[in-house]
Amino acid sequence: VLTQSPLSVPVALGQPASISCNSSQSLVYTDGNTYLNWLQQRPGLSPRRLIYKVSKRDSGVPDRFSGSGSVTDFTLKISRVEAEDVGVYYCVQGTQWPLITFGQGTRLEIK
Partner 1 sequence: QVQLQESGPRLVRPSQTLSLTCTVSGDSIRSGDHFWGWFRQSPAKGLEWMGNIYHSGSTNYKPSLKSRLVMSVDTSKNQFSLRLTSVTAADTAVYYCARDKSVYDSNGLLDYWGPGMMVTVSS
Report, in this order, helix, strand and coil percent for the chain, each rounded to 5: 5, 50, 45
Out of 15, 100, 109, 110, the only residue in the binding site for partner 1 (CB under 8 A) is 100
CB of 52 to partner 1, least distance (A): 6
CB distance 13 to 110 below 8 Å: yes
CB distance 5 to 105 below 8 Å: no
Question: With binding defined as CB under 8 A, does residue 33 bind partner 1?
Answer: yes
Out of 56, 62, 80, 109, the only residue in the binding site for partner 1 (CB under 8 A) is 56
Which span sits near partner 1 by CB under 8 A: 10-18, 20-28, 38-46, 74-82? 38-46
DSSP string, 8-33: EEEE-TTS-EEEEEEESS--B-TTS-
Q: Which residues bind partner 1 (CB under 8 A)?
A: 31, 33, 35, 37, 39, 45-49, 52-53, 56, 58, 90, 92, 94, 97-102, 104-105
